[in-house]
Amino acid sequence: MTESLKPHLWFTLYRLMNMGAGRREIRVSTTELSSVLGCSQQSASRHLRLLEQLGMIERRVGVNGSHIRITEEGLRVLWEVYYGLRRQLEEGELEAYIFEGVVFTGLGEGAYYITRDGYRGQIREKLGFDPYPGTLNLRLSGGYIEMKRRLTRMPAIILEGFKDEERSFGAVRCYPAIINDDVEGAVIVADRTIYDDSVLEVISPIYLRKHFNLRDGDLVRVYASSPRRSSS
Amino acid sequence: MTESLKPHLWFTLYRLMNMGAGRREIRVSTTELSSVLGCSQQSASRHLRLLEQLGMIERRVGVNGSHIRITEEGLRVLWEVYYGLRRQLEEGELEAYIFEGVVFTGLGEGAYYITRDGYRGQIREKLGFDPYPGTLNLRLSGGYIEMKRRLTRMPAIILEGFKDEERSFGAVRCYPAIINDDVEGAVIVADRTIYDDSVLEVISPIYLRKHFNLRDGDLVRVYASSPRRSSS
DNA sequence: ATTACTAGCTGTCGAGTAA
DNA sequence: TTTACTCGACAGCTAGTAA
């Protein structure tokens, strides 16, 4: 999931974005695309199939061409390079967002995941703290939902996926965070999650519910930012 | 000249830029570079030679590594992709924001300004409605304050400044808006204002306080966007 | 018109190794 | 330590062609 696209496929994705496929579904034939890419029709066709397999685009093949739209994951990959360029080419301000969300009780899944050694070791190593075995779930509303999508597109600290005896675990994106202007922790975003974009999952070295005396429905403030250096 | 770099070489150039070679000469060995690129030392070496031949980088090969600096031409190639990404990603994504703010009573200045014929005529002409003689003030908090700063950086409908007998009035930026998912209006941002970024001033053809039966402290939702095409 | 398979070609890669 | 050559392996390419 977080293994990055090969360069030639990235460029095909980039060209599709140039044609507007990042905003809406576009119609394009493999022949048209090949002339844009400067390659053969066959290569254009293969690139589209590969990008679809990788989840970067959605495609409907019709009789008069392909209908293409770049997925959220595809846009994320484009944003990643965009941020990399901007950091060097423009005087990049550190991007950060302040969220406000309402505490709710999840399914306890967070505690299960976070205590897997595969994740826990990486959190210690890459985030610099030993996580309390549980996550704080915040429900976002209004503009904060879109704000979370934007945060998710920014460079992150990546916890690699792994396997244990029973099953495999996907990669997780982490953003350093400060909770209620006081406690350090991180916002975590699982690549595949049961939650939608209206949920912010927060981890921390301490038990946040106790520290802040939180109950369901309480408002919590989270300052989250992209790390200075993205560790892979 | 404009024959573009092959994708894998572009990515190597991009990585060199990530390491700072766009700003200054950096020292890097082919082995170090290969680990950044995720390829062999030999490929890293070959890429550097090719990029040098193509005039994308300047290189001095020393005994303890290569000294690399991206040339003006190399930076041009990076900027080209950067602009391509920005066109689609920024202008596409940053079109609209949803704010939530709390009603408060201002100093009544809004009513004074909005009834000046110099503004009123332009509002009718450029926004397409005759404004109710007053503004609704919303107090923003948390991330919404930063969101307002971003909105303010976007293209706006500009009400030109003017003078009457007594004094001069500054330009005003307007963003089309929908209030509480129902009423059309606009967010206005005076170039010089007594309010700071935590206040959202809203105008509309109708008296919003009455229409929504609003009292100080009530929450109001505002969808604000940059106009599609700059109407001048 | 399309998309996409097969076959064969080309260029990119990387292990081994020299300087 | 470096950089970079040779060369076998193979990924990615294109022409021809089917559906």
Number of CB pairs < 8 Å for A and B? 86
- Average pLDDT score over residue span A57-65: 85
Picking from B7, B78, B97, the nearest residue to A11 by CB comes out as B7
Q: What percent of chain B has pLDDT over 90?
A: 46
In terms of pLDDT, which residue wins out, B225 or B95?
A: B225
**Cβ contact A143–B78 (<8 Å):** no
Average pLDDT over residues A40-45: 90
Q: Which bases in strand D are touched by protein, i.e. have an atom under 7 Å from a CB?
A: 1-6, 12-16
Lowest mean pLDDT segment, chosen from A224-228, B190-194, B224-228: B190-194
Nearest-by-CA chain B residue for A79: B89
- Answer whether A89 sits within 8 Å of B11, measured CB to CB: no
Highest mean pLDDT among A71-80, A210-219, B139-148: A210-219
The predicted pLDDT at position A91 comes to: 61
Please state the domain extents for chain B.
7-92, 96-225
CATH class of the domain comprising B96-225: mainly beta
Interface contact flag, B81 A144, Cβ < 8 Å: no
Is residue B232 within 8 A of residue B155, CB to CB? The reply is no
Is the minimum distance from the CB of B31 to strand D below 7 Å? yes
Tell which CATH classification among 1.10.10.10, 2.60.40.1180, 1.10.287.1080, 3.30.830.10 matches the domain A7-89.
1.10.10.10
The DSSP call for residue B20 is I
The whole-number average pLDDT for the span B31-59 is 90
Asked if A86 and B82 come within 8 Å (Cβ–Cβ), the reply is yes
Looking at domain B7-92, its CATH class is mainly alpha
CB contact under 8 A, B8 and A10: no
| Chain C nucleotides covered by protein, CB below 7 Å | 1-6, 12-16
User: How does pLDDT run across B200-219, given as a tens digit for each residue?
Assistant: 999 999 999 999 999 999 99
Beta strands across the sheet bearing A65-70:
A26-28, A65-70, A57-62
Place A146 in a pLDDT band, splitting at 50, 70 and 90: confident
Output the pLDDT for position A220.
96
Examine the pLDDT at B229 and tell me if it is beyond 60.
no
pLDDT in tens, B96-112: 788 999 999 988 888 88
pLDDT confidence of residue B230:
35
Interface of A with B (CB under 8 A): 7-8, 10-11, 14, 17-18, 20, 22-23, 75, 78-79, 81-82, 84-86, 88-89, 97-100, 141-144, 146-147, 150, 221
Confidence of residue B192 (pLDDT cuts 50, 70, 90): low
CB contact under 8 A, B17 and A88: yes
Q: In the predicted model, is pLDDT for residue B232 greater than 70?
A: no
CA–CA gap between residue A190 and residue A173 (Å, rounded): 6
Strand C contacted by A219 CB (< 7 A) = no
Rounded mean pLDDT of chain A?
A: 88
Query: Which residue's CA lies closest to nucleotide D12 at its C1' atom?
Result: A43
Calpha distance B11→A7 (Å, rounded): 7
Secondary structure in 3-state letters for chain A: CCCCCCHHHHHHHHHHHHHHHCCCCEEECHHHHHHHHCCCHHHHHHHHHHHHHCCCEEEEEECCEEEEEECHHHHHHHHHHHHHHHHHHCCCCCCEEEEEEEEECCCCHHHHHHCCHHHHHHHHHHHCCCCCCCCEEEECCCHHHHHHHHHHHCCCEEECCEECCCCEECCEEEEEEEECCCEEEEEEEECCCCCCCCEEEEECCCCHHHHCCCCCCCEEEEEEECCCCCCC
**What is the reported pLDDT for A232?**
38
Average of pLDDT values for B58-63?
Answer: 85
Residues of B in contact with A82 (CB under 8 A): 82, 85-86, 89
Q: Which residue is nearest to nucleotide D13 (CA to C1')?
A: A43
What's the average model confidence in pLDDT over A219-227?
92
Neighboring chain B residues of A97 at a CB cutoff of 8 Å: 143, 146
Does the CB of A71 fall within 7 Å of any strand D atom? no
Q: How far is the CA of B63 from the C1' of C18 (A)?
A: 16
d(CA A56, CA A8): 14
Indicate if the pLDDT at residue A152 is higher than 90.
no
Residues of A in contact with B75 (CB under 8 A): 89
Quick one: pLDDT at residue A3? 57
> For position A57, what pLDDT does the model report?
93
> What is the pTM assigned to this prediction?
0.62
CB B40 within 7 Å, strand D: no
